[in-house]
Amino acid sequence: MSEVSTSIRKDISLYCSSCGASFPPDMRLLACTVCGEPLLVKYGEISTNPHMEIPVYSCNALVSLGEGNTPVIKMDKLGSRLPCGNIFAKLEFMNPTGSFKDRGTAMMISVAKGFNIANLVEDSSGNAGSSVAAYCGKAGITAHIFVPSSAPQPKLDQISVYGAIAHKIEGTREMVTDAASDFVDEKGYVYGAHKLSPYFLEGTKAFAYEIARHNLGEMPEHIIMPVGNGSLYIGAWLGFKELIFKGVISKMPKMHVVQASAVKPLVNLFSGNRKEEPIGITVAGGISVSNPPRSKLIGEILLETGGHAAAVDDEVILEWQKILAQENGIYCEPTSSSAFAGLEYLIRDGIIAKKESVLVAVTGFGLKDNLYI
Ligand SMILES: Cc1ncc(COP(=O)(O)O)c(C=O)c1O
Ligand SMILES: [Zn+2]
Protein backbone atom coordinates (compact mmCIF):
# COMPACT_ATOMS: atom_id res chain seq x y z
CA MET A 1 0.00 0.00 0.00
CA SER A 2 1.30 3.40 -0.88
CA GLU A 3 2.01 5.93 1.81
CA VAL A 4 -0.93 7.72 3.38
CA SER A 5 -1.24 11.17 1.87
CA THR A 6 -1.57 14.09 4.23
CA SER A 7 -5.10 14.71 3.00
CA ILE A 8 -6.47 11.82 5.06
CA ARG A 9 -7.30 12.69 8.66
CA LYS A 10 -4.88 11.19 11.15
CA ASP A 11 -7.47 10.73 13.86
CA ILE A 12 -9.70 8.29 12.01
CA SER A 13 -9.89 4.54 12.35
CA LEU A 14 -12.16 1.89 10.93
CA TYR A 15 -14.34 0.03 13.36
CA CYS A 16 -16.76 -2.85 13.41
CA SER A 17 -20.19 -1.92 14.76
CA SER A 18 -20.84 -5.60 15.42
CA CYS A 19 -17.88 -6.70 17.57
CA GLY A 20 -16.17 -3.37 18.29
CA ALA A 21 -12.79 -4.27 16.71
CA SER A 22 -10.90 -1.32 15.28
CA PHE A 23 -8.33 -0.97 12.50
CA PRO A 24 -6.12 1.72 10.95
CA PRO A 25 -7.64 3.35 7.83
CA ASP A 26 -6.93 1.40 4.68
CA MET A 27 -8.66 1.29 1.27
CA ARG A 28 -8.18 -2.46 1.05
CA LEU A 29 -9.81 -3.38 4.32
CA LEU A 30 -13.54 -3.70 3.74
CA ALA A 31 -14.60 -6.14 6.46
CA CYS A 32 -13.76 -6.85 10.08
CA THR A 33 -11.02 -9.48 10.29
CA VAL A 34 -12.58 -10.77 13.53
CA CYS A 35 -16.25 -11.23 12.60
CA GLY A 36 -16.53 -10.40 8.90
CA GLU A 37 -18.96 -7.46 9.19
CA PRO A 38 -18.32 -4.41 6.97
CA LEU A 39 -16.67 -1.46 8.72
CA LEU A 40 -17.51 2.15 9.58
CA VAL A 41 -15.29 5.22 10.03
CA LYS A 42 -14.63 6.37 13.58
CA TYR A 43 -13.28 9.82 14.44
CA GLY A 44 -10.88 10.37 17.31
CA GLU A 45 -12.77 13.46 18.26
CA ILE A 46 -16.07 14.80 17.02
CA SER A 47 -16.18 18.54 17.29
CA THR A 48 -19.40 20.20 18.31
CA ASN A 49 -19.30 22.60 15.38
CA PRO A 50 -22.30 22.08 13.10
CA HIS A 51 -20.16 20.97 10.15
CA MET A 52 -20.02 17.39 9.05
CA GLU A 53 -17.06 15.24 10.07
CA ILE A 54 -15.23 13.96 6.99
CA PRO A 55 -12.29 11.57 6.73
CA VAL A 56 -10.14 13.97 4.71
CA TYR A 57 -8.56 17.13 6.10
CA SER A 58 -10.02 19.87 4.04
CA CYS A 59 -12.63 20.50 1.44
CA ASN A 60 -9.78 21.16 -1.01
CA ALA A 61 -8.94 17.48 -0.76
CA LEU A 62 -12.35 16.55 -2.10
CA VAL A 63 -12.68 15.29 -5.63
CA SER A 64 -15.91 17.14 -6.28
CA LEU A 65 -18.28 17.57 -9.18
CA GLY A 66 -20.69 19.79 -7.26
CA GLU A 67 -22.64 16.95 -5.66
CA GLY A 68 -25.17 17.44 -2.90
CA ASN A 69 -27.38 20.33 -1.88
CA THR A 70 -30.16 18.77 -3.90
CA PRO A 71 -33.49 20.59 -3.84
CA VAL A 72 -36.43 19.66 -1.66
CA ILE A 73 -39.90 20.28 -3.00
CA LYS A 74 -43.28 19.99 -1.35
CA MET A 75 -45.43 17.32 -2.96
CA ASP A 76 -48.81 18.99 -3.04
CA LYS A 77 -50.34 17.07 -5.93
CA LEU A 78 -50.59 13.57 -4.56
CA GLY A 79 -54.29 14.04 -3.85
CA SER A 80 -56.48 11.19 -2.72
CA ARG A 81 -53.78 8.67 -3.51
CA LEU A 82 -51.59 9.92 -0.63
CA PRO A 83 -53.76 11.86 1.79
CA CYS A 84 -50.90 13.25 3.80
CA GLY A 85 -50.36 17.01 3.93
CA ASN A 86 -46.67 17.16 4.58
CA ILE A 87 -44.79 15.17 1.99
CA PHE A 88 -41.45 16.49 0.77
CA ALA A 89 -39.31 15.04 -1.99
CA LYS A 90 -35.53 15.48 -2.01
CA LEU A 91 -34.51 15.34 -5.64
CA GLU A 92 -31.40 13.22 -5.48
CA PHE A 93 -31.40 12.71 -9.24
CA MET A 94 -30.17 16.30 -9.52
CA ASN A 95 -26.71 15.17 -8.45
CA PRO A 96 -24.02 15.41 -11.19
CA THR A 97 -24.37 11.85 -12.50
CA GLY A 98 -28.12 11.66 -11.94
CA SER A 99 -28.34 9.66 -8.72
CA PHE A 100 -27.79 9.94 -4.97
CA LYS A 101 -24.52 8.01 -5.23
CA ASP A 102 -22.40 11.08 -5.95
CA ARG A 103 -21.87 12.33 -2.39
CA GLY A 104 -20.64 8.88 -1.38
CA THR A 105 -18.46 8.52 -4.45
CA ALA A 106 -16.92 11.98 -3.97
CA MET A 107 -15.76 10.97 -0.50
CA MET A 108 -14.63 7.47 -1.47
CA ILE A 109 -12.62 8.74 -4.43
CA SER A 110 -11.12 11.59 -2.38
CA VAL A 111 -9.83 8.99 0.08
CA ALA A 112 -8.61 6.81 -2.81
CA LYS A 113 -6.70 9.81 -4.11
CA GLY A 114 -5.27 10.34 -0.63
CA PHE A 115 -3.98 6.77 -0.74
CA ASN A 116 -2.55 7.32 -4.26
CA ILE A 117 -4.70 4.57 -5.74
CA ALA A 118 -4.20 4.19 -9.50
CA ASN A 119 -6.83 1.54 -10.31
CA LEU A 120 -10.18 1.05 -8.63
CA VAL A 121 -12.69 -1.74 -9.13
CA GLU A 122 -16.43 -1.36 -8.49
CA ASP A 123 -19.46 -3.51 -9.18
CA SER A 124 -22.87 -2.00 -9.59
CA SER A 125 -26.34 -2.24 -11.07
CA GLY A 126 -25.36 0.87 -13.03
CA ASN A 127 -25.76 4.06 -10.99
CA ALA A 128 -22.83 3.56 -8.60
CA GLY A 129 -20.77 2.42 -11.59
CA SER A 130 -21.47 5.58 -13.56
CA SER A 131 -20.85 7.74 -10.51
CA VAL A 132 -17.50 6.04 -9.76
CA ALA A 133 -16.59 6.30 -13.46
CA ALA A 134 -17.17 10.08 -13.42
CA TYR A 135 -15.26 10.81 -10.20
CA CYS A 136 -12.37 8.51 -11.11
CA GLY A 137 -12.10 10.32 -14.43
CA LYS A 138 -11.76 13.62 -12.59
CA ALA A 139 -9.29 12.14 -10.08
CA GLY A 140 -7.12 10.50 -12.75
CA ILE A 141 -7.85 7.02 -11.40
CA THR A 142 -8.58 4.16 -13.82
CA ALA A 143 -12.02 2.75 -12.98
CA HIS A 144 -12.94 -0.86 -13.74
CA ILE A 145 -16.71 -1.13 -13.48
CA PHE A 146 -18.35 -4.56 -13.34
CA VAL A 147 -22.01 -4.44 -14.38
CA PRO A 148 -24.66 -6.95 -15.38
CA SER A 149 -24.84 -7.08 -19.19
CA SER A 150 -28.60 -6.64 -18.66
CA ALA A 151 -28.10 -3.19 -17.04
CA PRO A 152 -30.06 -0.40 -18.75
CA GLN A 153 -28.22 0.88 -21.84
CA PRO A 154 -28.10 4.54 -20.69
CA LYS A 155 -26.21 3.49 -17.56
CA LEU A 156 -23.81 1.32 -19.59
CA ASP A 157 -23.29 4.24 -21.98
CA GLN A 158 -22.69 6.65 -19.11
CA ILE A 159 -19.98 4.38 -17.65
CA SER A 160 -18.19 4.21 -21.01
CA VAL A 161 -18.49 7.89 -21.86
CA TYR A 162 -16.82 8.83 -18.56
CA GLY A 163 -13.88 6.76 -19.75
CA ALA A 164 -14.12 3.81 -17.34
CA ILE A 165 -13.41 0.25 -18.42
CA ALA A 166 -16.80 -1.48 -18.37
CA HIS A 167 -16.78 -5.23 -17.68
CA LYS A 168 -20.21 -6.53 -18.70
CA ILE A 169 -21.02 -9.81 -16.97
CA GLU A 170 -23.74 -12.24 -18.03
CA GLY A 171 -25.73 -13.66 -15.15
CA THR A 172 -27.04 -12.63 -11.77
CA ARG A 173 -26.00 -9.58 -9.74
CA GLU A 174 -24.07 -11.92 -7.42
CA MET A 175 -22.09 -13.25 -10.40
CA VAL A 176 -21.10 -9.66 -11.21
CA THR A 177 -19.76 -9.20 -7.66
CA ASP A 178 -17.88 -12.50 -7.87
CA ALA A 179 -16.30 -11.48 -11.19
CA ALA A 180 -15.21 -8.12 -9.68
CA SER A 181 -13.72 -9.78 -6.66
CA ASP A 182 -11.85 -12.38 -8.80
CA PHE A 183 -10.47 -9.49 -10.89
CA VAL A 184 -9.30 -7.70 -7.71
CA ASP A 185 -7.54 -10.88 -6.55
CA GLU A 186 -5.93 -11.39 -9.95
CA LYS A 187 -4.74 -7.80 -10.48
CA GLY A 188 -4.11 -6.69 -6.92
CA TYR A 189 -6.26 -3.58 -7.50
CA VAL A 190 -8.35 -1.87 -4.83
CA TYR A 191 -11.97 -2.94 -4.56
CA GLY A 192 -13.81 0.34 -4.06
CA ALA A 193 -17.18 -1.27 -3.62
CA HIS A 194 -19.73 1.37 -2.62
CA LYS A 195 -21.72 -1.26 -0.76
CA LEU A 196 -18.76 -2.05 1.53
CA SER A 197 -16.71 1.13 1.61
CA PRO A 198 -16.88 2.92 4.98
CA TYR A 199 -15.82 6.14 3.23
CA PHE A 200 -18.79 6.02 0.87
CA LEU A 201 -21.10 6.22 3.91
CA GLU A 202 -19.16 9.24 5.19
CA GLY A 203 -20.17 10.97 1.97
CA THR A 204 -23.85 9.99 1.94
CA LYS A 205 -24.00 11.30 5.52
CA ALA A 206 -24.30 14.78 3.97
CA PHE A 207 -27.89 13.90 2.96
CA ALA A 208 -28.86 14.22 6.65
CA TYR A 209 -26.97 17.49 7.09
CA GLU A 210 -28.76 18.96 4.10
CA ILE A 211 -32.16 17.93 5.48
CA ALA A 212 -31.33 19.63 8.76
CA ARG A 213 -30.41 22.80 6.81
CA HIS A 214 -33.48 22.86 4.55
CA ASN A 215 -36.13 25.22 5.68
CA LEU A 216 -38.88 22.65 6.15
CA GLY A 217 -40.35 24.22 9.27
CA GLU A 218 -39.29 21.23 11.35
CA MET A 219 -37.31 18.04 10.86
CA PRO A 220 -39.40 15.45 8.99
CA GLU A 221 -40.73 12.75 11.30
CA HIS A 222 -40.26 10.09 8.64
CA ILE A 223 -37.58 9.47 6.03
CA ILE A 224 -38.34 6.92 3.35
CA MET A 225 -36.21 5.55 0.53
CA PRO A 226 -35.57 2.52 -1.66
CA VAL A 227 -32.91 0.35 0.00
CA GLY A 228 -30.76 -2.36 -1.54
CA ASN A 229 -27.34 -2.29 0.14
CA GLY A 230 -28.29 0.68 2.29
CA SER A 231 -25.55 3.13 1.30
CA LEU A 232 -27.88 6.15 1.56
CA TYR A 233 -29.95 4.68 4.39
CA ILE A 234 -26.97 3.99 6.66
CA GLY A 235 -25.16 7.19 5.66
CA ALA A 236 -28.26 9.26 6.50
CA TRP A 237 -28.56 7.55 9.88
CA LEU A 238 -24.88 8.25 10.63
CA GLY A 239 -25.49 11.88 9.71
CA PHE A 240 -28.56 12.23 11.93
CA LYS A 241 -26.62 10.66 14.81
CA GLU A 242 -23.77 13.12 14.34
CA LEU A 243 -26.27 16.00 14.20
CA ILE A 244 -27.89 14.87 17.45
CA PHE A 245 -24.45 14.61 19.08
CA LYS A 246 -23.61 18.13 17.90
CA GLY A 247 -26.92 19.42 19.24
CA VAL A 248 -28.11 20.56 15.80
CA ILE A 249 -31.23 18.37 15.85
CA SER A 250 -32.95 16.82 18.83
CA LYS A 251 -34.69 13.77 17.44
CA MET A 252 -33.93 10.92 15.06
CA PRO A 253 -36.54 10.59 12.28
CA LYS A 254 -38.13 7.19 11.72
CA MET A 255 -36.17 5.66 8.88
CA HIS A 256 -38.20 3.43 6.56
CA VAL A 257 -36.97 0.94 4.01
CA VAL A 258 -38.72 0.14 0.72
CA GLN A 259 -37.94 -2.97 -1.32
CA ALA A 260 -39.49 -4.69 -4.32
CA SER A 261 -41.71 -7.71 -3.54
CA ALA A 262 -39.52 -9.86 -5.80
CA VAL A 263 -36.30 -9.16 -3.87
CA LYS A 264 -36.96 -8.30 -0.23
CA PRO A 265 -34.31 -9.67 2.14
CA LEU A 266 -34.58 -6.64 4.44
CA VAL A 267 -38.36 -6.85 4.64
CA ASN A 268 -37.97 -10.53 5.53
CA LEU A 269 -35.38 -9.67 8.17
CA PHE A 270 -37.68 -6.99 9.60
CA SER A 271 -40.72 -9.26 9.72
CA GLY A 272 -38.75 -12.23 11.05
CA ASN A 273 -39.46 -14.31 7.94
CA ARG A 274 -36.53 -16.73 7.83
CA LYS A 275 -37.84 -18.85 4.97
CA GLU A 276 -35.54 -19.10 1.97
CA GLU A 277 -37.29 -17.30 -0.86
CA PRO A 278 -36.54 -17.57 -4.55
CA ILE A 279 -35.19 -14.30 -5.89
CA GLY A 280 -37.40 -12.80 -8.57
CA ILE A 281 -37.03 -10.12 -11.19
CA THR A 282 -38.05 -6.52 -10.62
CA VAL A 283 -38.15 -3.25 -12.56
CA ALA A 284 -36.45 -1.70 -9.51
CA GLY A 285 -32.96 -2.81 -10.57
CA GLY A 286 -31.16 -0.53 -8.08
CA ILE A 287 -32.63 -2.42 -5.11
CA SER A 288 -32.41 -5.89 -6.58
CA VAL A 289 -29.89 -7.02 -3.95
CA SER A 290 -30.53 -10.48 -2.52
CA ASN A 291 -27.93 -10.45 0.24
CA PRO A 292 -27.00 -6.96 1.46
CA PRO A 293 -23.67 -7.13 3.32
CA ARG A 294 -24.76 -4.56 5.91
CA SER A 295 -28.19 -6.09 6.61
CA LYS A 296 -27.43 -6.57 10.32
CA LEU A 297 -26.83 -2.85 10.77
CA ILE A 298 -29.88 -1.96 8.65
CA GLY A 299 -32.00 -4.20 10.92
CA GLU A 300 -30.61 -2.38 13.96
CA ILE A 301 -31.37 1.04 12.46
CA LEU A 302 -34.94 -0.02 11.68
CA LEU A 303 -35.40 -1.05 15.30
CA GLU A 304 -33.60 1.92 16.80
CA THR A 305 -35.46 4.55 14.79
CA GLY A 306 -38.88 2.87 14.78
CA GLY A 307 -38.80 2.50 10.99
CA HIS A 308 -40.66 -0.07 8.92
CA ALA A 309 -39.62 -2.14 5.93
CA ALA A 310 -42.26 -2.35 3.19
CA ALA A 311 -42.36 -4.48 0.05
CA VAL A 312 -44.10 -3.17 -3.06
CA ASP A 313 -45.12 -4.81 -6.34
CA ASP A 314 -43.67 -3.79 -9.69
CA GLU A 315 -47.11 -2.84 -10.95
CA VAL A 316 -47.52 -0.24 -8.19
CA ILE A 317 -43.93 0.97 -8.64
CA LEU A 318 -44.66 1.70 -12.31
CA GLU A 319 -47.99 3.35 -11.47
CA TRP A 320 -46.10 5.69 -9.16
CA GLN A 321 -43.46 6.40 -11.78
CA LYS A 322 -46.31 7.62 -14.00
CA ILE A 323 -48.08 9.64 -11.29
CA LEU A 324 -44.83 11.39 -10.38
CA ALA A 325 -44.08 12.22 -14.00
CA GLN A 326 -47.56 13.16 -15.18
CA GLU A 327 -48.84 15.05 -12.15
CA ASN A 328 -45.68 16.28 -10.49
CA GLY A 329 -43.13 16.74 -13.25
CA ILE A 330 -40.71 14.29 -11.63
CA TYR A 331 -39.15 11.75 -13.97
CA CYS A 332 -37.41 9.20 -11.80
CA GLU A 333 -36.42 5.61 -12.37
CA PRO A 334 -38.69 2.80 -11.14
CA THR A 335 -36.24 2.04 -8.32
CA SER A 336 -36.94 5.55 -7.04
CA SER A 337 -40.72 5.62 -7.53
CA SER A 338 -40.83 2.50 -5.34
CA ALA A 339 -40.36 4.85 -2.36
CA PHE A 340 -43.75 6.47 -3.08
CA ALA A 341 -45.35 3.05 -3.49
CA GLY A 342 -43.90 2.21 -0.07
CA LEU A 343 -45.14 5.47 1.39
CA GLU A 344 -48.65 4.73 0.14
CA TYR A 345 -48.46 1.35 1.82
CA LEU A 346 -47.23 2.78 5.14
CA ILE A 347 -49.93 5.47 5.20
CA ARG A 348 -52.64 2.93 4.33
CA ASP A 349 -51.39 0.65 7.09
CA GLY A 350 -51.50 3.49 9.62
CA ILE A 351 -47.75 3.37 10.24
CA ILE A 352 -47.44 6.94 9.01
CA ALA A 353 -50.26 9.21 10.18
CA LYS A 354 -51.79 11.74 7.79
CA LYS A 355 -50.66 14.75 9.81
CA GLU A 356 -47.03 13.66 10.09
CA SER A 357 -44.24 15.01 7.91
CA VAL A 358 -42.38 12.76 5.52
CA LEU A 359 -39.32 13.22 3.35
CA VAL A 360 -38.88 10.90 0.38
CA ALA A 361 -35.50 10.48 -1.32
CA VAL A 362 -36.01 10.48 -5.10
CA THR A 363 -32.80 8.61 -5.77
CA GLY A 364 -32.26 8.33 -9.54
CA PHE A 365 -33.17 10.03 -12.82
CA GLY A 366 -35.71 8.45 -15.19
CA LEU A 367 -33.59 8.91 -18.32
CA LYS A 368 -31.02 6.48 -16.91
CA ASP A 369 -33.32 3.47 -17.02
CA ASN A 370 -35.38 1.52 -19.52
CA LEU A 371 -38.94 2.58 -20.10
CA TYR A 372 -41.40 0.03 -18.72
CA ILE A 373 -44.62 2.04 -18.86
C1 LIG B 1 -31.76 4.85 -8.12
C2 LIG B 1 -31.33 4.03 -6.95
N3 LIG B 1 -32.03 4.12 -5.81
C4 LIG B 1 -31.70 3.40 -4.72
C5 LIG B 1 -30.63 2.52 -4.75
C6 LIG B 1 -30.31 1.72 -3.52
O7 LIG B 1 -29.09 2.07 -2.97
P8 LIG B 1 -28.39 1.13 -1.92
O9 LIG B 1 -28.14 -0.18 -2.62
O10 LIG B 1 -27.16 1.78 -1.53
O11 LIG B 1 -29.38 0.96 -0.81
C12 LIG B 1 -29.87 2.39 -5.92
C13 LIG B 1 -28.71 1.50 -5.98
O14 LIG B 1 -28.13 1.24 -6.98
C15 LIG B 1 -30.23 3.16 -7.04
O16 LIG B 1 -29.54 3.07 -8.19
ZN1 LIG C 1 -16.25 -7.42 13.90
* Residue 197 Cβ contacting ligand 1 at under 6 Å: no
Give the pLDDT confidence score for residue 57 in this predicted structure.
86
Amino acid letter for position 133: A
Q: Is 97 helix (H, G, I), strand (E, B) or coil?
A: coil
Dist. CA 1 → ligand 1 center (Å): 30
Q: Does 350 lie in the same domain as 326?
A: yes
Q: Does 350 lie in the same domain as 255?
A: yes
Report if residue 32 sits inside a domain.
no
Q: What is the pTM of this model?
A: 0.96
Q: Does 348 lie in the same domain as 279?
A: yes
The answer to whether 333 and 369 have CB atoms below 8 angstroms apart is yes
Q: Does 335 lie in the same domain as 190?
A: no
Report if residue 59 sits inside a domain.
no
Dist. CA 363 → ligand 1 center (Å): 7
Query: What is the spatial distance between Cα 359 and Cα 92, in angstroms, rounded to a whole number?
Result: 12
Q: Does 207 lie in the same domain as 111?
A: no
Q: Does 231 lie in the same domain as 82?
A: yes
Report if residue 6 sits inside a domain.
no
337: closest CA among 310, 357, 318?
A: 318
Mutation test of ligand 1: which of 93, 100, 102, 195 has the most ligand atoms closer than 8 Å to its C-beta?
A: 100
Tell which of 157, 174, 198 closes a domain: 198
Q: Does 362 lie in the same domain as 226?
A: yes
Report if residue 167 sits inside a domain.
yes
Residues whose CB is less than 8 angstroms from the CB of residue 176 and which lie 6 or more positions away in sequence, other chains included: 123, 146, 147, 148, 169
As for how many domains the chain has, the answer is 2
The answer to whether 58 and 7 have CB atoms below 8 angstroms apart is yes
The answer to whether 14 and 39 have CB atoms below 8 angstroms apart is yes
Q: Does 209 lie in the same domain as 114?
A: no
Q: Does 123 lie in the same domain as 232?
A: no
Domain containing 272 equals 72-97+200-368
Report if residue 58 sits inside a domain.
no
Tell which of 151, 182, 198 closes a domain: 198
* Residue 204 Cβ contacting ligand 1 at under 6 Å: no
Give the pLDDT confidence score for residue 4 in this predicted structure.
44
Residue whose CA is closest, atom 13 of ligand 1? 286
Residue-wise pLDDT for 270-328, tens only, equals 999 888 888 899 999 999 999 999 999 999 999 999 999 999 999 999 999 999 999 99
Q: Which ligand is nearest to the CA of 151?
A: 1
What is the arithmetic mean of pLDDT over 64-93? 92
Query: What is the spatial distance between Cα 281 and Cα 261, in angstroms, rounded to a whole number?
Result: 9
Residue-wise pLDDT for 248-260, tens only, equals 999 999 999 999 9
